[in-house]
Chain A
């Protein structure tokens, strides 16, 4: 029997259509993999529901009906995205027993296409982190080296695809939570433009940043999933009808910007070498390489770690022990709040709520929150200027490959600094993709391709060309 779990979406689709294998066989193969896995990439698996959907797809195929590209193909969903009737924990004790009352818009869209949902994947608690070490239910191990992290926050979604435990998956990206684990696990991950994909049904972290996006084995698959989930949704006021064109771009006609600030101190030489080689390949293929400057890069992390916790402190106020989730017994209302949150939330959400509350409090608002909003505009302006000189930007995703489990857990600031190349993109609301570009030993390194707003199509065209060159 052929190995079913390492097939791409397109290969699965062809196999199903030509009746080489059934969706039930395909789904069972993934479920078997998950059962044998020790990566901790899944928080919950719904075998019965997955098989039920697979059988429905098989009946459709048997009847000779037209099927969508995603029909009968297995995916994994980050446990911060609601799937009706399923637990949605956001990897937090406070939501340990929470059952989602409705489907997120992206889930509704995938279900309409006949997607098979295998289960929910592990993440940092409330998607806050860069390693999934902040999950209340244990760390995700990197499939390439189990002593190392898979990245985060969507570490479970990235590891599941890398280890053939799902054909593709959904994650969410607030400051790098799709691109960085994609880079660490050696899969492709796309963080779409802010507003390109509805966030209805995504547990909110920082609302002016959060975006849902796909992980897959190759660029072509990413495009299939992105096309299935994108678009305006009346239930998410920030979503917009995409102006994303179908025009096919060629790397030989494009100018690739290389930001000098992203190749400065702190970048591991072996990562730099891999990224420089990828840029050289683009040049050999006819791209014009231009050095660009993003002079406000130095402010990006401080700006990000003020604004995101500020928004998170407001968003997480809903976990109050009253409406849903854990409720600790107490004498009066204030104590219900204090105790439920004190006992239900983990160290990182608490730290971020504290930072956010501090930055928004009277007397500090101007010095922190307002100042950070001004800096955010500088960073947006940097990118706006850069995209007058180039069509796409190439840079690293992370200054280093996957780090050891436990290496950074005692020092939150050093963990925050790991986000250096991914947060600025989010401050500007831009789309970015991580493409496997090489390895250091066993450890994958991703090339980040950044485009202007709603230029996912340009990113994907060029990523496809680069993928062929880097193989």
Chain B
């Protein structure tokens, strides 16, 4: 059984606030689900040499560059944020 402390630790890492009732339910659900995952211990593995996906021979990475958007889209995206000032999205102090 997953302990309450473990649930709280994972919840903090995941940035989730949980109620007492949610914590209890999470202990029960996570324990059952993680137990089920033990099934995988029996699974073997393939030799590294086997090429499985002939459609993806190489990674397709996007260039690390800013792509400018239409002003209209930019405005809509900023408008969607709960707190903003001019063209900026406001965030609480980080430090």
Contact = CB atoms under 8 A, between A and B. Distances in A.
- Bound pair (A, B): yes
Interface of A: 98-99, 101-102, 195, 237-238, 240, 296, 298-299, 301-303, 305-306, 313, 317, 320-327, 330, 332-334, 336-339, 341-343, 345, 347, 350-351, 353-358, 361, 368, 371-372, 374-375, 377-378, 380-381, 384, 412-413, 416, 429, 453-454
B15 interface: yes
Contacts of B81: 322-324
A322 B40 contact: no
Contacts of B54: 453
B92 A332 contact: yes
B20 interface: no
Contacts of B33: 305, 355, 412-413, 416
B92 A303 contact: no
A238 B62 CA distance: 11
A375 B40 contact: yes
A422 to B, nearest CB: 17
A341 B13 contact: no
B91 A353 contact: no
Contacts of B14: 313, 341, 353-354, 356-357
Contacts of B44: 378
Nearest to A320: B15
Contact of A380 (B7, B30, B43, B52): B52
Nearest to A370: B45
Given A240-B55, A339-B17, A412-B33, A102 B62 contact: no
B45 A322 contact: no
B84 to A, nearest CB: 10
Given A336-B92, A351-B26, A354-B30, A361 B43 contact: no
Interface string B39-51: 1111111100010
B39 A302 contact: yes
A351 to B, nearest CB: 6
Interface residues on B, range: 35 or more
B45 A354 contact: no
Contacts of A347: 22, 25
B1 interface: no
Contacts of B34: 355, 358
A345 B17 CA distance: 10
A324 B16 contact: no
Contacts of A416: 33
A354 B39 contact: no
Given A99-B80, A305-B37, A368-B40, 12 more contacts: A238-B60, A298-B39, A334-B15, A341-B15, A341-B17, A342-B18, A350-B26, A354-B10, A361-B10, A361-B13, A380-B53, A381-B50
11 contacts: A99-B76, A101-B73, A237-B60, A326-B82, A350-B22, A353-B14, A354-B11, A355-B33, A380-B52, A381-B46, A413-B29
